[in-house]
Amino acid sequence: MNLVLVRGLCYIVASIFFVFGLKMLSSPTTARKGNMVSSIGMLIAIVTALTAMTDIKWAWIIAGAGVGSTIGALAARLVKMTSMPQMVGLFNGFGGLASLLVGWSEFHGRWADADATRLFTMVAIFLTVLTGGVTFSGSLVAFGKLAGMVTGKPMLYKGRNAVNAVILIAMVALGIFFCTQKIAQVDGAGLYIGFTGIIILALILGVLSTIGIGGADMPVVICLLNSYSGLAACAAGFVINNNVLIVSGSLVGASGLVLTSIMCKAMNRSLTNVLFSGFGSATSAKGAAYKGEAKPVSAEDAYLILEAASSVVFVPGYGMAVAQAQHVVRELGDLLADNGAEIKYCIHPVAGRMPGHMNVLLAEANVPYEQLVEPQDVNPTIEIVDVAIVIGANDVVNPAAREDESSPLWGMPVINVDHARTCIVLKRTLNPGFAGVDNPLFFKENTRMLFGDAKASIMLLVSEFKH
């Protein structure tokens, strides 16, 4: 059988594996299998691509595979779940960098004979370098914000949008010059200088377009950068004429854009603001200063409230991830269920530092999938919920989003825990969350503050139930 036909069939099989793997990733019950299916598809694609190469330096291939596999294995085993968002952001950046290097390599091999290069290929190289550079530098900034190396507050300056617009226009102008080099009849050195300018401007644009976004908006940014990395890979597929790279990049790019749209709706913000770097600037505004007297509660008194409850809703947030409290949360939920209470875990789409952060943590603790619900499933009947337990969440339960038009969170759909009969908030202090916005929930009449480490506090509640 023709080897070209065999390779084409292998690429189709790999693409099918990607599609089914992505579908399986949509459910926690099949996510592990989906990850394995996608990995097998990628293995098939890599082996097939290697067989199409005539001059392979196997020493470099084996060395690269070994180093990459080692880094991946160590990251999977050693990186804590609390650090998973910044690791995802970093991996997005590496994906963009890989695409940029592919485009650079292809151009480097063609620039001396530019007249033999088709316009389509030149455009593909330009788009690969553009999206790859923006993704790489933007992801590094997102990583810094999530890791606490860079301030989570938006870094704004006068004329920010104008500067970004000028850089974008300059990149487009250089791109036109670069792609139409046969018309311009420029010398090779001038073409390479223009290409280098595109790379530098792309890296600068990635930084400037991300530093102005507040830390609380990082889940949306992670989705968008993930989409960018997929689009960069797709463009790289056109550069090297690899069908499976085009398919996989398109899948990642499209799914990332869909998830970005979902995140925007969850925060009541527009996708246009994200794309044009105005996203998150609202978090720099000052909402009202809330005053009142918080009502602390001891673990013993909180136990008495929970022991009498017939319905309990857990609302996890980043604080649960920091405290690594997901296992004791599930244990407390099981004890409450044994006591006759109806248990639900309400997860806001932007809770945590990346999409699905809380879902992953609760799945790790073997929380039944049917107990996981979204805000629209809880809010209509929240008034009849006996106890809402907020574990480290802040912005996604802030009633200022409904009550205070001056708040940066105004209009954002939140979980209305303040409408429950009793709300128990587990927090170390009364400090605001990642968005830097004060929370009037702490001073509501039906709110009780259980101060301390979330894991330690819940372990005390579990101990009360057991004894």
Residue positions annotated with a catalytic role: 395
What is the 3-state secondary structure of the chain?
CCHHHHHHHHHHHHHHHHHHHHHHCCCCCCHHHHHHHHHHHHHHHHHHHHHCCCCCCHHHHHHHHHHHHHHHHHHHHHCCHHHHHHHHHHHHHHHHHHHHHHHHHHHHHHHHHHHHCCHHHHHHHHHHHHHHHHHHHHHHHHHHHHHCCCCCCCCCCCCHHHHHHHHHHHHHHHHHHHHCHHHHCCCHHHHHHHHHHHHHHHHHHHHHHHHCCCHHHHHHHHHHHHHHHHHHHHHHHHHHCCHHHHHHHHHHHHHHHHHHHHHHHHHCCCHHHHHCCCCCHHHHCCCCCCCCCCCECCHHHHHHHHHCCCEEEEEECHHHHHHCCHHHHHHHHHHHHHCCCEEEEECCCCCCCCCCHHHHHHHHCCCCHHHEECHHHHHHHHHHCCEEEEEECCHHHCCHHHHCCCCCCCCCCCCCHHHCCEEEEEECCCCCCCCCCCCHHHHCCCEEEEECCHHHHHHHHHHHHHC
- Residue 434 backbone dihedrals phi, psi, to 5 degrees: -65, -25
- Residue 84 backbone dihedrals phi, psi, to 5 degrees: -60, -40
